[in-house]
Chains A and B, each alone.
Chain A
Amino acid sequence: MQSDAKQLDTQIEIVTPENIAFQYRVAGPFRRLPAYLIDLAVRAGVAAVAFGVLVFAFGMAGLASLGFGVWLTLAFLLTWFYGGVFETFYNGQTPGKRLMRIRVLSVDGRAVNALQATLRNVLRTVDGQPGLFYLLGLAVATMNDRFQRLGDLACGTMVVVEERQWYGDVVRVDDPRAIRLAAELPAGFQPSRSLARALATYVGRRENFSPSRRAQLARHLGVPLRHILDLPPETDFDRLLCALYHRTFITDQEEPPGSEPISPMVAFDKSAGGNPFASSTTETTEVVNEDLSEPRTEQPFGVR
C-alpha cells in the first residue's frame, strides 16, 4: 500500500556496516513464545533423561549422591547456557528457533557473538519478572520497534523471522481478448506510477477472486478509465485492466525506455492513437458523473 507516513508494521530495515540495506520482519513476543516453549521442553527432556541415566549409573557404583551432584551441575549448565551455546554455534538459533524459523541477529544485521548470545539468555531471568510471568519482558518488547526485551537491549540483539521470498516473473496475461484490446488502446496513454502499481496489484491477485468479485473490484478503476480512453459502455472492466497491465508491463518493456511516466490526464494525447472503440452512441455527461460519483463515497469498510 502507498504510504506518506511510516506505516505500522512488523518489518524493519537494517543497514549493515557495509552500507547494504536489508528488510527483516522482526519476531515479537508471540512469535517467539512457541520457540521458547519448544526449547523449554527440550531442556526438560534432556534433564529428565540425564537424571535417570546419571542416578542409575552412579547408583550402581554406590555413588548415588555424586550422580545427583553431577546432574545438578548439568541442570545448572542447561538452565543458564543452553540458549547461549546454541545461538553461538548454531548461527543465532536454538532448536526451537530453528523449528519456528526465527534467528537472533545483532541490530546492525551481523551474526551474534558468544558474549551477546550468552548474556541475552542469562538476562531472560530479568525479563521474566515479576516471578516468571514475563510481564516485564512483554512490556519492554512492546515499547520498542524491534520487539527487544531487556536482554536484547543490553546485548544489541534482536530476533528476526527467516522468510523465504520467491520473486516470480512478471504475471502474464493469457486472455487473447485482453491482448487484442491492449494493442488497440491509444498509444499516447501512459499510466502514472500509482496507476501502474494499482494495475500490478490487481492483476497479481485477480486469480484468487471469483468473476463477480473481479468485476466489483475492476469497476472502481474501469469507470474513470473508460471515460479517459473514450471506450464504449460495454467494455469489460476486468479485461480493460488486464489489457492496460499488458501494455504497461509486457509490451512497453520491449520498447526502448522512454521518459518518466506521468499523469494519465497529461499523458493522454488523443491525436497520437485515436480511439478504436469510438461508439456512435455518445455517453452522456450525466451517466459518466453518476458512474464516477460512486467510488468517492468514503465508507472504507463498506462492501462493494
Chain B
Amino acid sequence: MQLDNTRIAIRERTFVDVLDLALRVVRWCAGPLAIALAAGIVPTFLLNAYLLSGYEEPDFELGFPIWYMIDVALLMLWEIPLATAPATLYLGQALFEERPSAGRIAGNFVRSLPQLIWYQVVLRVMVLFPPAWLWLFAQRPYLNEVILLERTPLAQKTPANPSTGRRCRTLHAGRGGDLFGRWMAAVTVGALLAASCWGSMYLGGGFLLNEWEPGNGWFTHGFHLALWLVVGLFTVVRFLGYLDLRIRREGWEVELLMRAEGARLSRAIDSGAGE
C-alpha cells in the first residue's frame, strides 16, 4: 500500500465535481462495486418485500399508493447505513489497493457490526422520530465512514484514539451549513434521478411489452429498485464527500503525502543501518 499513490486523485472538489467523479468511479469499478452493493442491498430488498407484503392489493387499485411509498422510504432511511456498509468498505480498500480483498472487507464489516448496530439501528429505534434521523443524515453524514474506515472505538481509550462519537463531532463540527447545503443538493439530485429511473422503467416496459397500464410490480419492485439504484450511486458520492471533508478540514492529502514520504525515509534509514 503506497499512501501517496491513490487510485482517485485526492484534492478539494465542489459538490457537482464530486457527483461527476462518482460516475467515473462507478464505471471504473462497476463489477466489484455492484457485488459489494448487492451484498448489502439484496437482503434488505428481500426483507422489505417481506415486511410490506401485508399491503392489500386494493391499495394499489385506488390509484397512487402513497402510503406504501412513504413506508418504503422510511424503511430505507433506517436501512441505508447497514446496506451500504460493504460498498463503503470496498471503496476504502480500492482507493489504495489494486485488488481489494473480500476477506478483509468481510472481516472489517464483522468487526464494525456492533458499532453499526448501536449507532445506526439501536439509537434510531430509541429515537422513534424520523426527523431526528434526517438530522443524522444531514449533520452527521459520514458516521458510517468513521465507523467502517477509521475503525474508531466505541469508548475513548486515550486522547489520541477518540471514540466514534467524539471523532464524529470533531469531523463535522463547524460545517453545519455546508453539510446541510450538500445534503439538500444530494436529496434534490437523488429524487430527480430516482424519478428518472422509475419513469424510464415505466416507458421501457411500455415500449418492450406494449403494456402501458402501470401494474403493481412497477409500484412495488420498480419503486424499490429505482431508490436502491440511486442509493448505490450516492454511496460513492458519500465516500467521495467524506474524503473531501477530510481534505478541507484536516489536510488529509498532505497527511497521506507526509506519511508516505516519512515511511520512505524510515525505510532508507533502516536499509542504511542494516548495511
Q: A10-B20, A30-B19, A135-B200 are in contact. List 17 more A-B contacts (CB 8 A).
A: A1-B256, A3-B9, A7-B8, A8-B8, A9-B8, A30-B16, A130-B200, A133-B195, A143-B27, A220-B261, A221-B261, A296-B263, A298-B1, A298-B3, A301-B151, A303-B152, A304-B259
B203 in contact with A133 (CB, 8 Å): yes
Residue from the list B199, B204, B264 in contact with A194, Cβ < 8 A: B264
Q: Which positions 137-190 of chain A face chain B at CB distance < 8 Å?
A: 138, 141-143, 145, 147
Number of A-B contacts (CB under 8 A): 180
Residues of B within 8 A of A298 (CB): 1, 3
A299 within 8 A of B: yes
Identify the interface centre among A4, A133, A216: most chain B CB within 10 Å of its CB: A133
Q: Which 7 A-B pairs have the closest CB atoms?
A: A28-B20, A224-B265, A30-B19, A9-B9, A220-B262, A301-B149, A220-B258
A197 to B20, CA, bound (A): 28
Interchain CA distance A87-B112 in the complex, whole Å: 52
**A39 shortest CB reach to chain B, Å:** 16
Residues 88-99 of chain A: 1 if any B CB is under 8 Å from the residue's CB, otherwise 0?
A: 000000000000
Cross-chain contact A8 with B255 (CB below 8 angstroms): no
- Contact status B196-A134, CB under 8 Å: yes
Q: Is the CB of A264 within 8 A of B265?
A: yes
Residues of B within 8 A of A11 (CB): 9
The docked-state distance in angstroms from the alpha carbon of A131 to that of B26 is: 24
Chain A CB within 8 A of B34 CB: no
Which chain B residues lie closer than 8 Å to A216 at the CB level? 255
Q: Check B7 against A5 for contact (C-beta < 8 Å).
A: yes
Instruction: Report the bound CA distance from A166 to B250 in whole Å.
Output: 23
**Chain A 267-304, CB within 8 Å of chain B: the 1/0 string?**
00000000000000000000010001001101111111
Interface check A233, CB cutoff 8 A: no
A147–B167 CA distance with the chains assembled, in angstroms: 37
B38 within 8 A of A: no
B21, A9: Cβ atoms closer than 8 Å: yes
In the complex, what residue of chain B is closest to A292 when comparing beta carbons? Answer: B266
Instruction: List residues 250-275 of chain B with CB under 8 A from any CB of chain A.
Output: 250-251, 253-266, 268-272
Task: State which of B19, B96, B262, B266 has its C-beta within 8 Å of the C-beta of A300.
Answer: B96
Q: Do A133 and B265 touch (CB < 8 A)?
A: no
CB-CB < 8 A to B145: which residues of A? 301
CB proximity to A under 8 Å, residues B177-229: 189, 195-197, 199-200, 203-204, 207
Contacts A142-B27, A217-B255 given; indicate if A10 touches B262 (C-beta within 8 A): no
Within 8 A of A (CB), among B1-44: 1-11, 16-17, 19-21, 23-28
